[in-house]
């Protein structure tokens, strides 16, 4: 039997564009995620700036209402699903195998499929801009506004299908990383010796596995409502319930918040010990607090719905649970501060961003406790106070944490240091711009400015603060320019990093920068939480290649991108079907076949091309 | 009022903050300065919150808003104190343990007593916040007073309908739109519904928000207005293109004014004098506007807002414009120049006044109907 049953032979070259398209190397997939996330970060940022121009003065006429509604919808959707999540995935991919002493993730081709589904889903959703208009129903898309009766354009269909496709990829990635972390740790790397970043990755992966199915279900029901006239959410008919959408969305949506923040917490927990030159204070507590946050995160979704008319008991229970989640979060902050206590603190750029994370995230947490108090929430819900709160958590938290990660691990990824000088300026400009933008939003919220309004009038007296906020937004934009300059300059002529430029303790620093494609020539043996601080053997030069030469790594594969294309274009066919039934059905049939053929090819793909030749030779 | 009383207070705190302390190393003095700073920040917010911003959440004018406000101030002070203490502690640690010659990192792995302490302290603070929260929630389940004024508020894309059961002609509903009238000192019990998508009813100075969900009847927190005046309301749930412009007003009247208004709402308007501009306007209204709008005793359709006593309304277009003849003329002529309303079957048509090819109404007709609507006043 011929092992190669595909039309596409298993590729062997890792060179050039095809090398990237067919790659199954976790480090390359990590870079793909990172670059894609950064591009979407710029797009989402431009959307934010356009909104701030519109709101800089009362009765603004820069954009129309519909455009503004599309801008905030896409800004939110982009930043959550196309920026912070894939940026987290970039770090998971690049670092987790290195930090646990593995050569790749458990399922390298599935890993590539996750990336291609993410990028194709994101492109499909943004493609609505050229076909109809950007989706304009808000990032949490409350029914029945999203049903066909109230949304005249097909933009919402792009939103539903784009999210659904990205969700499939994310769910697969969740399984991949749980299995990788549980099964592929180096000898001696017990779970309780694992660095915090892989720990948080493990917890986030479990969150993904349990949180994404409710979203998938909600989107499927909405899809059925929109395409086939079922009646899950549209109240015009009998039996539908618009609040069902909110429950399903937030059962996903609140754990999602922790999916966005826990990776940053992991990054910060690994950066602090390096730059205070001492171990993480209360390692066990910090790990356990992360797990408790994730667990409680599934029991607080209805705090997004305090004003929807839940019963008193439900409201009280969810308020209590929401306050409870503040406890493990507070514990983490205190443990981080105790890590700094008694240290010898080196104020390098990664630490500055980590400190920015701790301080700003704490403020976001405190405002979060404020609207856990239900009476207060009746005045804060859907105002700029909420906008301020979640930007302190997701920008002050996630983005500062991820940026700390960029400065910390860029040397490992590229072999070159980012400039400390530009880095420090970048930090201060971003820190000041961030607070100029989001601190006054608290006051605007107290003054009653509702979120998601494209305009406000002079007599509401919000003009001065709004102008100040808009100026702050452009200060943030300047800081992002500084980051781009730093990356571009340093990637070409930055100082050479060497293996362990920060004298850090974890395994990824025991191999060259950038790491060879097989990561570890010899898999290390681990005997403590700080293999490079406590163990002589791991701290010196990596062992030479063994006699049999380079470790054999999985060959590249075409099938991940083929399957992702098939799935995405079936969704595209569904969109075409609305305008042209037969063309739509044709596209669905053709690409349905491509997808199924892709799965078939994937399943029977030989381990490597030369093995096919060997089979031939035997005949 | 609060604006005036708090401002000097804030200045006092500010002075305290800037006064140099004799012994900066004294921990108590440092803590006191921090507390002053936190209070000054809170006071600053309070000042900003109280000056001429009609949607402010910091100037309660009902018992319900006052109850929420008290808890609000409590949590904001608690959160500010915690925030400033932690930030100050962080700043101290960063300065004390910065890298310098001779500084050696202490290899501490943890300390169970400390960790238990900083687990228990947040629990205690959160319990302190949870108690008033739960008490408040329990309070919202109370039945309305015997003599409470019952109102049904209905959200539409993009305006508010208000129905007073039993106060209308023959014991039916009294119906008005976008400007709610209630008497001072009497409890108001409002139920909330929605015709199309989800909206949210919110009058920051009188009552916190509750959503208006299609297919459900939600109960707004009962409130008793404590002061005569006009208060701003706003839809607080994104509801489509014109969400930003879905506003309303609540007029808190004296009992006598409220009773007079109810009486007038039940009477047909005075017939305009034959041959007057208003009489011509009444004909225009009958031919066009009456297809969707009710005026008590004149027309009965309820697709659009009820316009009875429209001449007494302070605003038009769901609280977005002053009800001047010029604004009303612009509104009737080309509504979509003012508000981004979609062209759906139930939406007000654009009459394209001034466009000779497609106009549905002449400018003269608009002037007439404006004069008629403005004449619908209390007697």
Confidence check: pLDDT of B144 > 60: yes
DSSP B194-209: ESSS-EEEEETTTEEE
Q: Specify whether the CB–CB gap between A511 and A522 falls below 8 A.
A: no
Residues in chain B: 379
Confidence check: pLDDT of B46 > 60: no
Residue A11 CB partners (closer than 8 Å, separation 6+):
A18, A22, A555, A556, A557, A558, A609
CA angle B50–B55–B58, rounded 5-degree value: 40
CA A40 – CA A453 distance, rounded (Å):
24
Confidence check: pLDDT of B29 > 70: no
Query: In chain A, which residues have their Cβ closer than 8 Å to the Cβ of B110?
Result: 281-285
Query: In chain A, which residues have their Cβ closer than 8 Å to the Cβ of B109?
Result: 279, 281-283
pLDDT (average), residues A313-332: 95
Confidence check: pLDDT of A504 > 90: yes
Q: What is the pLDDT, as a whole number, of residue B2?
A: 42
Q: What is the pLDDT, as a whole number, of residue B345?
A: 76
Question: What ranges in A78-107 are assigned the alpha helix state H?
Answer: 85-100
Model-level pTM greater than 0.95? no
Q: How many C-beta neighbours within 10 Å does residue B117 have?
A: 11
Give the one of B90, B133, B236 whose C-beta lies nearest to A337's C-beta: B90
How do residues A272-295 score in pLDDT, each as one tens digit?
A: 999 999 999 999 999 999 999 999
- With an 8 Å Cβ cutoff, are A309 and B210 in contact? yes
Give the one of B52, B83, B114 whose C-beta lies nearest to A362's C-beta: B83
Residue in chain A closest to B58 (alpha carbons) equals: A446
Helix, strand, coil percentages in chain A from 3-state DSSP, rounded to 5: 70, 0, 30
What is the nearest CA distance from B96 to chain A, expressed in angstroms? 8
Q: What is the pLDDT, as a whole number, of residue A466?
A: 96
Q: What is the pLDDT, as a whole number, of residue A133?
A: 82
What is the nearest CA distance from A372 to chain B, expressed in angstroms? 9
Residue A502 CB partners (closer than 8 Å, separation 6+):
A274, A275, A348, A350, A408, A411, A509
What is the nearest CA distance from B281 to chain A, expressed in angstroms? 31
ipTM, interface predicted TM-score of the complex: 0.92
Q: How many C-beta neighbours within 10 Å does residue A540 have?
A: 11
CA B330 – CA B147 distance, rounded (Å):
42
pLDDT (average), residues B261-277: 92
Q: What is the pLDDT, as a whole number, of residue B12?
A: 42
Q: Specify whether the CB–CB gap between B2 and A446 falls below 8 A.
A: no
Which of the residues B59, B99, B222, B232 would you substitute to probe the A interface, choosing the one with the greatest number of A C-beta atoms within 10 Å? B99
CA-wise closest residue to A1 among A599, A594, A611: A611
CA B230 – CA B181 distance, rounded (Å):
9
How do residues B80-134 score in pLDDT, each as one tens digit?
A: 999 999 999 999 999 999 999 988 889 988 899 999 999 999 999 999 999 999 9
Backbone torsions φ then ψ of B316, nearest 5 degrees: -140, 165
pLDDT (average), residues B340-348: 84
What is the nearest CA distance from A279 to chain B, expressed in angstroms? 6
Map A253-302 to HEC letters: HHHHHHHHHHHHHHHHHHHHHHHHCCCCCCHHHHHHHHHHHHHHHHHCHH
Query: In chain A, which residues have their Cβ closer than 8 Å to the Cβ of B115?
Result: 282, 285, 331, 334-335
Buried b / exposed e along B342-361 (16+ C-beta atoms within 10 A): eeeeebbebbebeeeeebeb
Q: What is the pLDDT, as a whole number, of residue B259?
A: 97
Query: In chain A, which residues have their Cβ closer than 8 Å to the Cβ of B202?
Result: 450
CA A54 – CA A72 distance, rounded (Å):
12
Lookup: tokens for B74: 């409590």
Q: What is the pLDDT, as a whole number, of residue A11?
A: 75
Backbone torsions φ then ψ of A457, nearest 5 degrees: -100, 165
What is the nearest CA distance from B16 to chain A, expressed in angstroms? 23
Query: In chain B, which residues have their Cβ closer than 8 Å to the Cβ of A278?
Result: 105-108
Place of tokens 């947490």: A365
- With an 8 Å Cβ cutoff, are A308 and B48 in contact? no
What is the nearest CA distance from A361 to chain B, expressed in angstroms? 11
CA A213 – CA B61 distance, rounded (Å):
45
Share of chain A above pLDDT 90, in %: 85
Q: Which pLDDT band holds residue A174 (cuts at 50, 70, 90)? A: very high
Place of tokens 């990755």: A201
How do residues B133-142 score in pLDDT, each as one tens digit?
A: 999 999 999 9
How do residues A196-225 score in pLDDT, each as one tens digit?
A: 999 999 999 999 999 999 999 999 999 999
Q: What is the pLDDT, as a whole number, of residue A66?
A: 92
Cα distances (Å, whole numbers) of residue A213 to A118, A142, A253, A560: 16, 18, 11, 22
pLDDT (average), residues B14-38: 54
Which of the residues A330, A365, A378 would you substitute to probe the B interface, choosing the one with the greatest number of B C-beta atoms within 10 Å? A378
Residue in chain A closest to B106 (alpha carbons) equals: A342
Residue in chain B closest to A237 (alpha carbons) equals: B215
pLDDT (average), residues A181-202: 96
Which of A128-142, A238-252, B41-55, B203-217 has the lowest average pLDDT? B41-55
Q: What is the pLDDT, as a whole number, of residue B48?
A: 57
Q: What is the pLDDT, as a whole number, of residue A125?
A: 95
Residue A131's SS3 state is helix
What is the nearest CA distance from A502 to chain B, expressed in angstroms? 14
- With an 8 Å Cβ cutoff, are B45 and A285 in contact? no
State the burial class of residue A295 (Cβ atoms within 10 Å of its Cβ: 0-12, 13-18, 19+). middle
Which of the residues A143, A358, A376 would you substitute to probe the B interface, choosing the one with the greatest number of B C-beta atoms within 10 Å? A376
Query: In chain B, which residues have their Cβ closer than 8 Å to the Cβ of A337?
Result: 86, 89-90, 93
Q: What is the pLDDT, as a whole number, of residue B13?
A: 43
Give the one of B108, B122, B197 whose C-beta lies nearest to A330's C-beta: B122
Confidence check: pLDDT of A617 > 80: no
Q: What is the pLDDT, as a whole number, of residue B10?
A: 44
- With an 8 Å Cβ cutoff, are A447 and B133 in contact? no
Q: What is the pLDDT, as a whole number, of residue A497?
A: 93
pLDDT (average), residues A611-617: 46
CA B182 – CA B180 distance, rounded (Å):
7
Confidence check: pLDDT of B22 > 50: no
Which of A147-161, A177-191, A313-327, A506-520 has the lowest average pLDDT? A147-161
Query: In chain B, which residues have their Cβ closer than 8 Å to the Cβ of A342?
Result: 97, 105-106, 108
Query: In chain B, which residues have their Cβ closer than 8 Å to the Cβ of A192?
Result: none
Which of the residues A155, A343, A459, A465 would you substitute to probe the B interface, choosing the one with the greatest number of B C-beta atoms within 10 Å? A343
Q: Which pLDDT band holds residue A610 (cuts at 50, 70, 90)? A: low
Confidence check: pLDDT of A130 > 80: yes
Q: Mean pLDDT of all residues in chain A? A: 92
> Which helix (H) or strand (E) is B46 found in, with range?
helix B27-50
Q: Specify whether the CB–CB gap between A55 and A470 falls below 8 A.
A: yes
Q: What is the pLDDT, as a whole number, of residue A7?
A: 60
CA A445 – CA B45 distance, rounded (Å):
11
What is the nearest CA distance from A445 to chain B, expressed in angstroms? 8
CA A468 – CA A470 distance, rounded (Å):
5
Q: What is the pLDDT, as a whole number, of residue B45?
A: 59
CA B123 – CA B128 distance, rounded (Å):
9
Q: Mean pLDDT of all residues in chain B? A: 88
pLDDT (average), residues A517-531: 91
pLDDT (average), residues A403-419: 97
């Amino acid at each position: 039997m011929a092992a190669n049953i595909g039309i596409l032979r298993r590729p062997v070259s890792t060179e050039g564009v095809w090398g990237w398209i067919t790659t199954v190397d976790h480090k390359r997939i990590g870079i793909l995620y990172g670059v894609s996330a950064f591009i979407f970060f710029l797009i989402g940022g431009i959307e934010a700036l356009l909104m701030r121009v519109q709101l800089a003065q009362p009765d603004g006429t820069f954009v129309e209402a519909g455009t503004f509604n599309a801008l905030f919808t896409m800004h939110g959707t982009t930043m959550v699903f196309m920026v912070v999540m894939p940026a987290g995935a970039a770090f998971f991919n690049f670092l987790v195998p290195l930090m646990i002493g593995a050569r790749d993730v458990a399922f390298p081709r599935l890993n590539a499929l996750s990336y291609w589904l993410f990028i194709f889903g994101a492109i499909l959703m943004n493609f609505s801009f050229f076909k109809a208009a950007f989706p304009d129903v808000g990032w949490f898309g409350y029914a029945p506004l999203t049903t066909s009766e109230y949304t005249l354009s097909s933009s919402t269909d792009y939103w539903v299908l784009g999210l659904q496709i990205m969700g499939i990829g994310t769910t697969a990635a969740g399984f991949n990383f749980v299995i990788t972390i549980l099964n592929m740790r180096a000898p001696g790397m017990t779970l309780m010796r694992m660095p915090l970043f892989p720990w948080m990755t493990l917890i986030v992966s479990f969150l993904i596995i349990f949180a994404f199915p409710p979203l998938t279900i909600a989107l499927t029901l909405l899809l059925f409502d929109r395409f086939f006239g079922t009646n899950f959410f549209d109240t015009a008919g009998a039996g539908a319930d618009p609040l069902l959408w909110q429950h399903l969305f937030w059962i996903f949506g609140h754990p999602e918040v922790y999916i966005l923040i826990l990776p940053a917490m992991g990054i910060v927990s690994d950066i602090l010990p390096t730059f205070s030159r001492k171990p993480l204070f209360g390692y066990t507590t910090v790990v356990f607090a992360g797990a408790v946050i994730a667990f409680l995160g599934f029991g607080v979704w209805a705090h997004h719905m305090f004003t929807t008319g839940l019963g008193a008991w439900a409201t009280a229970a969810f308020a209590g649970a929401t306050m409870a989640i503040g406890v493990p979060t507070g514990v983490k902050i205190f443990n981080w501060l105790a890590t700094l206590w008694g240290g010898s603190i080196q104020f390098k750029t990664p630490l500055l961003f980590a400190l920015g994370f701790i301080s700003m995230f704490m403020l976001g947490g405190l405002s979060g406790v404020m609207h856990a108090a239900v009476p207060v929430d009746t005045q804060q819900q859907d105002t700029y106070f909420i906008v301020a709160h979640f930007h302190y958590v997701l920008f002050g938290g996630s983005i500062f944490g991820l940026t700390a990660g960029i400065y910390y691990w860029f040397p490992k990824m590229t072999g070159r240091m980012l400039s400390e000088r530009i880095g420090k300026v970048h930090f201060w400009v971003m820190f000041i711009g961030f607070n100029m933008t989001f601190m006054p939003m608290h006051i605007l919220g107290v003054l009653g400015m509702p979120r998601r309004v494209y305009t406000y009038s002079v007599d509401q007296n919000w003009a001065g603060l709004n102008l100040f906020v808009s100026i702050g937004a452009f200060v943030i934009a300047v800081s992002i320019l500084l980051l781009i300059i730093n990356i571009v300059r340093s990637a070409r002529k930055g100082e050479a990093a060497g293996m362990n430029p920060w004298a850090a303790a974890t395994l990824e620093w025991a191999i060259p920068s950038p790491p060879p494609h097989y990561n570890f020539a010899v898999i290390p043996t681990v005997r403590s939480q700080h293999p490079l601080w406590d163990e002589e053997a791991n701290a010196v030069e990596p062992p030479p290649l063994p006699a049999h030469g380079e470790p054999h790594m999985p060959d590249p594969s075409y099938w991940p991108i083929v399957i992702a294309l098939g799935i995405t274009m079936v969704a595209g066919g569904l969109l075409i079907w609305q305008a042209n039934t037969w063309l739509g059905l044709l596209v669905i049939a053709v690409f349905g076949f491509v997808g199924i053929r892709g799965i078939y090819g994937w399943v029977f793909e030989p381990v490597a091309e030369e093995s096919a030749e060997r089979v031939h030779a035997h005949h | 009022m609060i604006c005036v009383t708090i401002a000097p207070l804030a200045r006092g705190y500010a002075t305290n903050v800037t006064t140099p302390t004799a012994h900066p190393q004294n921990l108590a003095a440092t803590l006191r300065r921090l507390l002053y700073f936190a209070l000054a920040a809170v006071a600053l917010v309070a000042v900003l919150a109280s000056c001429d911003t009609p949607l402010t959440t910091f100037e309660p004018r009902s018992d319900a808003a006052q109850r929420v406000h008290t808890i609000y101030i409590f949590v904001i002070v608690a959160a500010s104190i915690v925030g400033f203490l932690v930030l100050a502690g962080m700043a101290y640690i960063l300065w004390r343990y910065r890298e310098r010659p001779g500084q050696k990192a202490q290899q501490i792995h943890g300390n169970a007593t400390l960790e238990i302490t900083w687990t228990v302290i947040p629990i205690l603070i959160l319990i302190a916040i949870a108690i008033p929260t739960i008490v408040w929630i329990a309070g919202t389940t109370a039945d309305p007073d015997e003599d409470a004024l019952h109102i049904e508020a209905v959200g539409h894309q993009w305006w508010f309908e208000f129905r007073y059961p039993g106060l209308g002609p023959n014991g039916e509903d009294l119906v008005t739109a976008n400007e709610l009238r209630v008497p001072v000192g009497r409890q108001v019990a409002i139920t909330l519904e929605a015709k199309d998508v989800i909206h949210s009813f919110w009058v920051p100075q009188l009552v916190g928000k509750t959503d208006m969900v299609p297919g459900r009847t939600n109960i707004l927190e009962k409130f008793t207005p404590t002061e005569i005046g006009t208060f701003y309301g706003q839809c607080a749930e994104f509801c489509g293109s014109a969400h930003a412009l879905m506003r309303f007003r609540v007029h808190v009247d004296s009992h006598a004014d409220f009773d007079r208004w109810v009486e007038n709402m039940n009477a047909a308007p005075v017939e305009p004098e034959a041959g007057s501009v208003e009489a011509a306007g009444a004909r225009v209204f009958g031919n066009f506007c009456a297809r969707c709008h009710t005026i008590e005793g004149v027309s009965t359709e309820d697709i659009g807002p009820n316009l009875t006593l429209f001449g007494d309304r302070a605003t038009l277009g769901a609280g977005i414009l002053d009800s001047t003849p010029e604004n009303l003329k612009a509104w009737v002529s080309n509504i979509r120049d003012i508000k981004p309303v979609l062209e759906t079957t139930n939406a007000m048509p654009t009459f394209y006044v001034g466009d000779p090819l497609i106009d549905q109404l002449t400018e003269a007709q608009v002037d007439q109907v404006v004069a008629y609507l403005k004449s619908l006043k209390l007697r």
